Amino acid sequence: MLTCGTCWREFPAGWRSRKQHMDATGHVPPAFECDTCDRYFGSQHAVIQHMTALGHWAESSESGQPPLGFACDDCDAAFYDEEDLRGHEVKAHLYCHDCDRYFQSWNNINQHLHGKTHRRTTVRCPFCNDSHGTATGLVHHLERGSCPNAPLDRDKLYDAVRRRDPHGFISNRLLAWSGTSSYEATEMAWNYRVDAYECYLCHRLFGRLASLNQHLSSPTHQQNLYHCPNSRRCGREFTTLAAVFNHLESESCEYMRFEAVQRHVERIVDPRRMIQV
């Protein structure tokens, strides 16, 4: 049974089913998988032993030996192509090859790789062709009503997404939902004990009434309209679609790679397409 090396989901239907899954999510197969059967191992040495003993080398291999590839400088792992090696260096050694730099934690190198130095993506609005640096930026553009060719806001975008998401892949099925609630504070919100305006919903303090009303008009206290598509492992809920994409771009739940999020954002906001796994 073939297995995804990122989320460890199993695919009894075979390699076509797993490839479809990996193309959609940006996931990769196990690092040390046999060329012929569905077994995978904990090291390059182990998989080489297995394939040599059973004759499981791919037809492209010569004389039963692995082709000359790309070796890791920090361990004995070797790979068939440079892309796999670079991915190994990031995951196993927290090393950025382009910057020749090691990091102290996965969070640090993840932020570095998604920063301006390495970000080469440009996401265009399907309605006005305006360019954005990330999927989150594009969805913010739509939810704020900034697109001149798509008169959308948070409510209209949710309604459009929900109609095209019958299986609840990312949208919550809110039977009683009737739109964004409206809140407005007056001078009665002044708390003389702390000398500030106080939000009566979360008790956060503000120096100006305008700042409190800006807080109340944001999605902070609105219903959660969306959830992370990684419902089995994550299950976090969000008030805006932009927050969903920001969560996926962070790779915190390891459901989808940053690059895959950028590729698939237009599929989510395109009114001509259904939303599915």
| pLDDT of 155 strictly over 60 | yes
CB 242 within 8 A of CB 136: yes
Reported as a pLDDT band with limits 50, 70 and 90, residue 201 is confident
- Is the pLDDT at 119 greater than 70? The verdict is no
What value does the mean pLDDT of the chain take? 80
Confidence of residue 99 (pLDDT cuts 50, 70, 90): confident
The answer to pTM > 0.85 is no
Most confident of 26-30, 149-153, 219-223, 244-248: 244-248
Place of tokens 């599915």: 276
Residue 264 has pLDDT above 60, yes or no: yes
**From the DSSP assignment, how many helices (H) and strands (E) are in the chain?**
9, 13
SS3 category, 257? coil
Judge whether residue 105 has pLDDT over 80. yes
Say whether pLDDT at 92 is over 50. Answer: yes
Residue 204 to residues 50, 133, 211, 220, 224: CA-CA distances in angstroms? 61, 32, 11, 12, 20
Residue 228 pLDDT level (bands cut at 50, 70, 90):
very high
Element (H, E) at 19: helix 15-25
Of residues 195 and 177, the one with the higher pLDDT is 195
Residue 277 has pLDDT above 60, yes or no: no
Mean pLDDT calculated for residue range 94-110: 85
- Is residue 227 within 8 A of residue 237, CB to CB? The reply is yes
Q: Would you state the pLDDT for residue 64?
A: 46
The mean pLDDT value for 16-22 works out to 81
Rounded to an integer, what distance in angstroms lies between the CA atom of residue 241 and that of residue 216?
A: 19
pLDDT tens-digit series, residues 158-187? 888 888 888 888 888 876 666 777 778 888
Q: What pLDDT band is residue 227 in, cutting at 50, 70 and 90?
A: very high
With a cut of 80, say whether residue 70 has pLDDT above it: no
Structure tokens at 132: 């954005």
**Sign of CA pseudo-dihedral 220, 225, 229, 231:** positive
Question: What was the pLDDT predicted at 63?
Answer: 43
How long is the chain? 277
What integer is the mean pLDDT of 9-29?
80
Task: Say which residue, 273 or 70, is predicted with more confidence.
Answer: 70
